[in-house]
Amino acid sequence: MYKFNLEPVLNQRKFVEENLQKELAVLKKLLAGEKKMLATFKSEENEVLGELQQRKEESITISDILLYVSFIEQLSRDIEKQEERVLDAEKRFDQKREDVIEAMKKRKILEKLKEKRLKLYQQKVIKNERDFLNEVGINMFNRKM
């Protein structure tokens, strides 16, 4: 029976890869949430700008305009902060994806080694069986003579 002597190392690499993939999934959700928040801020800014434009066409007081302007400025600051958060989340996601790719490469190297050694083992077993059958055939032939 074939036994791969590096099986514990392969199992550990699989475990590490699975954990990294789970972390990547969490970061993907986080990134999606940050992007959604950014889109919400931008949408709100557009709505407020549209509302201000509409109110200007009707009639609006200076104090109301100042309130709109200060709110729009606050939204702009929020958008800038959120864009930074999105960039940070993208960097973390990209780094984790690279870690997953590296872990996959390490695992695949061991899996290929395992397959290669198994193939060699199977070839050796077949050769031994052939040699044994040849020996049996020779002995039977010698007995008949």
Is 122 part of a structural domain of the chain? no
Domain membership flag for residue 86: yes
pLDDT score of 6: 95
DSSP H helices, the chain, are 7-58, 62-144
143 located within any domain? no
* Three-point CA angle 83, 87, 91, nearest 5°: 170
Predicted pLDDT at 59: 84
Whole-model pTM?
0.77
Give the model confidence (pLDDT) of 80-90 as tens digits: 999 999 999 99
CATH number, domain containing residue 30: 1.10.287.1700
